[in-house]
């Protein structure tokens, strides 16, 4: 249940995951619990604010800011407000993945600890002692990345990395490397991003209907184009994209390209099944992913309270 798969042959290399060595389990477990709790409340905040905008302001952040909150309609706020939902839902994706990863880690560590208590030392099923090395954070400080290449290659979660490489990048490289290693590598990037695009399009179709504008595909294929532009920049200048300007480029490119995808999800009802925070009960506040619990599951959980 280790989301990184660090004890498997398909584990990502150490330069991709934020591995911290020589961690004391006595300090690691409280740190993991605290980190997971922070992600839980971050996800709660995203759900509460997102529903307020989607349901009560019909997805219009200007209406939310100027009509409901009463902020002055400054030009600078109006300039960036169309992208607020993109940033908000990006934070929701981050906190949701990190929360799920933390819960899987806690469950696995609990099972290991229990089996080590109840099984005798000579039992072959008794697991080895807890090794914190196998449970790094799911993300590697993506907000500090100063290029698209670093953001997607090292900063973002690597849960699907093996799948994107094996099913997307490697086949495209095999096909196009005959035109030279540079063309092959660029094709590999587009193959990996293309597979990610297909996965996100499928998710949208599964919960709603096909998006005729294919905004998810444009978002992730656009990231591949951005990475290719960074490679060309390095070839021309001899320098990698980096520094403060690289950070601005990275997040401006992601947010600008991500807005159509977020708009498509909102148009298809994203957030409309989530209760407003004023109607949350104890379970929505305390249970992980509580705001997403359906009425049927909520009634079943309340029957145990």
Query: Mean pLDDT, to the nearest integer, of 236-254?
Result: 95
Mean pLDDT of all residues belonging to the chain: 86
Percent with pLDDT over 90 in the chain: 41
Q: Is the pLDDT of residue 1 over 60?
A: no
Longest dimension (CA), the chain: 71
Asked if 90 contacts 84 with a C-beta cutoff of 8 angstroms, the reply is no
Q: Is the pLDDT of residue 250 over 90?
A: yes
More confident call, 69 vs 45: 45
Asked if 256 contacts 218 with a C-beta cutoff of 8 angstroms, the reply is no
pLDDT in tens, 155-180: 888 778 888 888 999 999 999 999 99
Query: Poorest-confidence range of 74-83, 132-141, 194-203?
Result: 74-83
Q: Is the pLDDT of residue 214 over 80?
A: yes
Dihedral angle, C-alpha 213, 215, 217, 222, nearest 10 ° = 120
Residue-range domain boundaries for the chain: 1-139, 142-274
pLDDT in tens, 281-304: 888 888 899 888 877 777 777 777
CA atoms within 13 A on the CB side of 107: 9
More confident call, 305 vs 148: 148
CA distances, 80 to each of 55, 73, 108, 146 (Å): 21, 12, 42, 21
Residue 205 C-alpha from the chain's centroid: 19
């Amino acid at each position: 249940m280790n989301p990184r798969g660090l004890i498997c042959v398909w584990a990502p290399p150490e330069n991709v995951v934020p591995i911290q060595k020589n961690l004391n389990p006595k300090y690691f477990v409280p740190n993991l619990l605290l980190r997971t709790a922070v992600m839980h409340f971050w996800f709660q905040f995203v759900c509460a604010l997102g529903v307020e905008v989607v349901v009560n302001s019909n997805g219009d952040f200007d209406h939310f800011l100027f009509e409901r909150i009463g902020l002055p309609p400054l030009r600078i706020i109006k300039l960036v407000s169309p992208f607020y939902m993109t940033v908000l839902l990006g934070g929701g994706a981050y906190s949701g993945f990190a929360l799920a990863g933390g819960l899987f880690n806690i469950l696995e560590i609990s099972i290991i600890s229990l089996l080590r208590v109840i099984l005798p030392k000579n039992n072959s099923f008794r697991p080895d002692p807890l090794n914190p090395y196998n449970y790094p954070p799911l993300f590697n400080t993506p907000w500090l990345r100063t290029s698209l290449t670093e953001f997607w290659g090292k900063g973002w979660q690597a849960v699907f990395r093996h799948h994107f490489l094996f099913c997307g990048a490697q086949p495209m490289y095999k096909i196009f490397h005959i035109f030279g290693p540079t063309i092959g590598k660029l094709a590999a990037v587009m193959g990996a991003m293309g597979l990610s695009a297909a996965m996100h399009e499928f998710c949208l179709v599964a919960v709603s209907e096909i998006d005729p504008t294919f905004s998810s595909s444009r978002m992730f294929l656009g990231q591949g184009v951005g990475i290719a532009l960074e490679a060309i920049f390095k070839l021309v200048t001899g320098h990698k994209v980096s520094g403060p300007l690289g950070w601005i480029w990275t997040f401006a490119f992601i947010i600008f390209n991500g807005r159509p995808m977020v708009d498509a999800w909102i148009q298809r009802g994203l957030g409309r099944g989530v209760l407003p925070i004023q109607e949350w009960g104890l379970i929505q506040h305390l249970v992980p992913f509580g705001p997403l619990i359906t009425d049927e599951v909520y009634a079943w959980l309340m029957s145990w309270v």
